[in-house]
Protein backbone atom coordinates (compact mmCIF):
# COMPACT_ATOMS: atom_id res chain seq x y z
CA UNK A 1 0.00 0.00 0.00
CA UNK A 2 1.33 3.44 -0.92
CA UNK A 3 2.76 5.31 2.09
CA UNK A 4 2.47 2.25 4.39
CA UNK A 5 5.59 0.48 5.76
CA UNK A 6 4.01 -3.01 5.83
CA UNK A 7 3.02 -5.57 3.22
CA UNK A 8 0.88 -8.67 3.56
CA UNK A 9 2.49 -11.92 2.40
CA UNK A 10 0.13 -14.89 2.33
CA UNK A 11 -1.99 -13.27 5.05
CA UNK A 12 0.91 -12.24 7.32
CA UNK A 13 1.94 -8.60 7.83
CA UNK A 14 5.66 -7.90 7.35
CA UNK A 15 7.71 -4.73 7.18
CA UNK A 16 8.72 -3.85 3.63
CA UNK A 17 12.11 -2.59 4.80
CA UNK A 18 12.55 -3.96 8.35
CA UNK A 19 13.45 -1.38 10.96
CA UNK A 20 13.57 1.53 8.51
CA UNK A 21 9.92 2.48 7.98
CA UNK A 22 10.44 2.75 4.21
CA UNK A 23 7.19 2.98 2.23
CA UNK A 24 6.20 2.53 -1.42
CA UNK A 25 5.79 5.81 -3.29
CA UNK A 26 4.45 7.00 -6.62
CA UNK A 27 6.84 8.74 -9.02
CA UNK A 28 5.74 9.86 -12.49
CA UNK A 29 2.64 7.70 -12.17
CA UNK A 30 4.63 4.55 -11.28
CA UNK A 31 4.67 2.66 -8.00
CA UNK A 32 8.24 2.60 -6.69
CA UNK A 33 9.24 0.15 -3.97
CA UNK A 34 12.27 -1.01 -2.02
CA UNK A 35 12.19 -4.35 -3.83
CA UNK A 36 14.23 -6.70 -1.61
CA UNK A 37 11.43 -7.94 0.70
CA UNK A 38 9.07 -8.45 -2.24
CA UNK A 39 11.55 -10.54 -4.25
CA UNK A 40 12.53 -12.52 -1.16
CA UNK A 41 8.84 -13.24 -0.45
CA UNK A 42 8.77 -14.75 -3.96
CA UNK A 43 11.67 -17.02 -2.98
CA UNK A 44 14.20 -14.93 -4.90
CA UNK A 45 17.31 -12.90 -4.19
CA UNK A 46 18.41 -9.32 -4.75
CA UNK A 47 21.96 -8.27 -5.53
CA UNK A 48 23.64 -4.85 -5.49
CA UNK A 49 26.79 -3.85 -7.35
CA UNK A 50 27.84 -0.46 -5.97
CA UNK A 51 30.49 0.03 -8.63
CA UNK A 52 27.91 -0.11 -11.41
CA UNK A 53 24.93 1.05 -9.30
CA UNK A 54 23.23 -2.12 -10.53
CA UNK A 55 20.31 -3.97 -8.96
CA UNK A 56 19.97 -7.65 -9.87
CA UNK A 57 16.75 -9.52 -9.15
CA UNK A 58 16.67 -13.33 -9.38
CA UNK A 59 13.35 -15.13 -8.91
CA UNK A 60 11.20 -17.79 -10.52
CA UNK A 61 13.99 -18.74 -12.97
CA UNK A 62 14.40 -15.16 -14.21
CA UNK A 63 17.09 -12.51 -13.86
CA UNK A 64 16.37 -8.79 -14.08
CA UNK A 65 19.09 -6.14 -14.03
CA UNK A 66 18.47 -2.41 -13.55
CA UNK A 67 20.73 0.55 -12.85
CA UNK A 68 20.15 3.59 -10.65
CA UNK A 69 19.04 6.65 -12.62
CA UNK A 70 19.01 4.73 -15.93
CA UNK A 71 15.97 3.63 -17.90
CA UNK A 72 17.62 0.49 -19.25
CA UNK A 73 16.53 -2.93 -18.03
CA UNK A 74 17.99 -6.30 -18.93
CA UNK A 75 15.60 -9.21 -18.45
CA UNK A 76 17.02 -12.68 -19.03
CA UNK A 77 19.74 -11.15 -21.21
CA UNK A 78 17.44 -9.00 -23.39
CA UNK A 79 17.76 -5.23 -23.14
CA UNK A 80 14.70 -3.02 -22.83
CA UNK A 81 13.62 0.37 -21.49
CA UNK A 82 11.49 1.52 -18.58
CA UNK A 83 9.72 4.84 -18.44
CA UNK A 84 10.87 5.44 -14.83
CA UNK A 85 14.42 4.70 -13.64
CA UNK A 86 15.32 3.22 -10.25
CA UNK A 87 16.35 5.87 -7.72
CA UNK A 88 18.02 6.13 -4.33
CA UNK A 89 16.00 7.94 -1.66
CA UNK A 90 17.30 8.19 1.88
CA UNK A 91 19.89 5.54 1.19
CA UNK A 92 17.29 3.02 -0.03
CA UNK A 93 16.95 1.86 -3.63
CA UNK A 94 13.47 2.17 -5.14
CA UNK A 95 12.56 0.37 -8.38
CA UNK A 96 9.42 0.52 -10.53
CA UNK A 97 7.30 -2.37 -9.27
CA UNK A 98 5.48 -3.31 -12.48
CA UNK A 99 8.66 -3.63 -14.58
CA UNK A 100 10.19 -5.77 -11.84
CA UNK A 101 7.27 -8.13 -11.35
CA UNK A 102 6.37 -8.43 -15.03
CA UNK A 103 9.91 -9.61 -15.78
CA UNK A 104 9.87 -12.11 -12.91
CA UNK A 105 6.76 -13.89 -14.22
CA UNK A 106 4.52 -12.30 -11.61
CA UNK A 107 1.57 -9.97 -12.04
CA UNK A 108 0.98 -6.67 -10.26
CA UNK A 109 -2.59 -5.40 -9.99
CA UNK A 110 -3.31 -1.83 -8.87
CA UNK A 111 -6.34 -1.24 -6.61
CA UNK A 112 -7.05 2.47 -6.91
CA UNK A 113 -9.59 2.72 -4.07
CA UNK A 114 -7.05 1.56 -1.46
CA UNK A 115 -3.87 2.68 -3.27
CA UNK A 116 -2.39 -0.78 -3.03
CA UNK A 117 -0.77 -3.27 -5.36
CA UNK A 118 -1.50 -6.98 -5.22
CA UNK A 119 1.30 -9.16 -6.56
CA UNK A 120 0.34 -12.59 -7.81
CA UNK A 121 3.05 -15.17 -8.36
**Does 61 reside within a domain?**
yes
**Does 95 reside within a domain?**
yes
Domain count, the chain: 1
Dihedral angle computed from the Cα positions of residues 18, 98, 27 and 35, in that order, rounded to the nearest 10 degrees: 20
**Does 39 reside within a domain?**
yes
54-90 core/surface letters (b: 16 or more CB in 10 A; e: else): bbbbbbeeebbbbbbeeeebbbeeeeeebebbbeeee
**Does 25 reside within a domain?**
yes
pLDDT in tens, 75-96: 999 999 999 999 999 889 999 9
CATH code: domain of residue 106: 3.30.457.10
**Does 76 reside within a domain?**
yes
Q: How far is 6 from 113, CA to CA, in rounded Å? A: 18
**Does 75 reside within a domain?**
yes
Q: How far is 64 from 19, CA to CA, in rounded Å? A: 26
Q: The whole model's pTM is what?
A: 0.88
Label residue 121 by pLDDT band (50, 70, 90): confident
Q: Work out the mean pLDDT of the chain and round it to a whole number.
A: 93
**Does 1 reside within a domain?**
no
Domain carrying residue 114: 6-120
Amino acid sequence: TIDKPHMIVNGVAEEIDPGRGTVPIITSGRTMVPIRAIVEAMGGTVGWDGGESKITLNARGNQVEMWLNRNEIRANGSMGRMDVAPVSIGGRTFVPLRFSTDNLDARAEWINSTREVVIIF
